[in-house]
Amino acid sequence: MWKERKGKLKRAIYPGSFDPVTCGHLDIIKRASRIFDELYVVVFENVGKSPLFTAEERVEMLVEACKGMENVKVSCSSGLLVDFARKHGIQVIIKGLRAVSDFDYEFKMALMNKKLAPEVDTLFMMTSVEYLFLSSSLVKETVSYGGCVEGLVPPNVLPKLRDKFRRHS
């Protein structure tokens, strides 16, 4: 177990856009928080995406969704992921994998991060089967057409999503 090595605190980071956090993300957060002493859940900008929610809104939703998970710290950053990891003494990057389609993108990011910070490892966790199809993009598209995403996002996220699309329409 990562936790037991060298008697040092084992810290991991779970980065993402979290636009918004889904139950699939939350499942990875719960499982990773059981493996590591401290888990940093950090909202980063993804240059390829234009977010629906501001970084502050995404952090707020994550904080609420992660209530009661004592070793989970939620924040946001606008810099490089590996710089954040180095600054906070984080040894492991956690990424969730749903299907083979995620792999190419995630594999390239893991190799780039390894090139930038060889001392930091990326660890992939398989999604739980009930969330295989789930993504923030699908959730947003569904809600934008009036569909129901109950059970797919944490309860605190539902009204925020509805409100966003009410104001957008």
Element (H, E) at 167: helix 157-168
d(C-alpha 165, C-alpha 168), whole Å: 5
The catalytically annotated residue of 3, 8, 34, 49 is 49
The letter for the amino acid at 111 is L
Query: Nearest approach, Cβ of 58 to ligand PNS (angstroms)?
Result: 10
> Which is closer to ligand PNS, CB of 3 or CB of 112?
112
127 is a contact residue toward ligand PNS (CB under 6 A): no
Site membership for ligand PNS, residue 20 (CB under 6 A): no
Residues numbered 54-93 forming contacts with ligand PNS, rule: CB under 6 A? 80-81
**Which tokens go with 108?**
């390239």
Single out the residue of 45, 35, 25 nearest to residue 1, CA to CA. 35
Complex with ligand PNS: residue 3 or 133, whichever CB lies closer: 133
Collapsing DSSP states into helix, strand and coil, what is residue 73? strand
Whether 47 contacts 20, CB under 8 Å: no
Tell me if 15 contacts ligand PNS by CB under 6 A.
yes
Question: Residue 140: what residue type?
Answer: K
Residue 109, interface with ligand PNS (CB under 6 A)? yes
Q: Which residues are catalytic?
A: 25, 49, 98, 136
Rule CB under 6 A: which residues touch ligand PNS? 15-17, 44, 46, 49, 80-81, 109, 112-113
